[in-house]
């Protein structure tokens, strides 16, 4: 966030949802506590947590209100992401790590893939998309049209 805020000071990063029950049983709150470096970077005001279960309707609303959707799973073998499907259906610009599902659906310019565990790459992609309305809009359209093929509406 610090590098993004340098050029886009009004950016807000929203993290929504509860920790998956299996991760919580295995690791407790270690996953959530890993976000604390933002406090040291003094960007607390730009990072918002909705740290609870979010209904499908509320998640669709949150994703729908975003300019850019970021999904950063840590493992390639992630087979699906419901919120990524929401983001595509809402025609969002998307930045993702290259887990299997994302690599497939974000192909052909429907999103930006960045390396696993590389926050600098996420920041660079975010800054680039925020600075280029035309590229962001074109990506949104490609994602939306592809998602429409899934639902039969496109």
Decide: pTM greater than 0.85.
yes
Domains of the chain, by residue range, sit at: 1-54, 56-154
Q: What is the pLDDT of residue 91?
A: 95
pLDDT, tens only, 93-130: 999 999 999 999 999 999 999 999 999 999 999 999 99
In order of 22, 27, 56, 68, the CA distances from 63 in angstroms are: 24, 27, 10, 9
Q: What is the pLDDT of residue 42?
A: 73
Low-confidence ranges of the chain (pLDDT < 70): 31-41, 150-154
Domain covering 56-154: architecture = 3-Layer(aba) Sandwich (3.40)
DSSP designation for 28: T
Q: What is the pLDDT of residue 151?
A: 59
């Amino acid at each position: 966030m610090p590098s993004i805020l340098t050029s886009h000071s009004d950016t807000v990063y929203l993290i929504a949802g509860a920790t998956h029950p299996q991760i919580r049983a295995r690791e407790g709150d270690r996953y959530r506590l890993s976000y604390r470096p933002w406090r040291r970077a003094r960007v607390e005001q730009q990072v918002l947590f909705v740290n609870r279960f979010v209904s499908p309707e509320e998640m669709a609303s949150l994703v729908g209100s975003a300019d850019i959707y970021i999904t950063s799973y840590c493992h390639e073998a992630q087979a699906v992401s419901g919120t990524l499907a929401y983001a595509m259906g809402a025609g969002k610009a998307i930045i993702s790590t290259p887990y299997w599902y994302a690599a497939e659906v974000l192909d052909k310019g429907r999103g930006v893939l960045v390396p696993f565990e590389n926050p600098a790459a996420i920041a660079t992609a975010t800054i680039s998309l925020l600075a280029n309305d035309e590229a962001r809009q074109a990506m949104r359209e490609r994602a939306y049209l592809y998602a429409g093929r899934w639902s039969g509406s496109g």
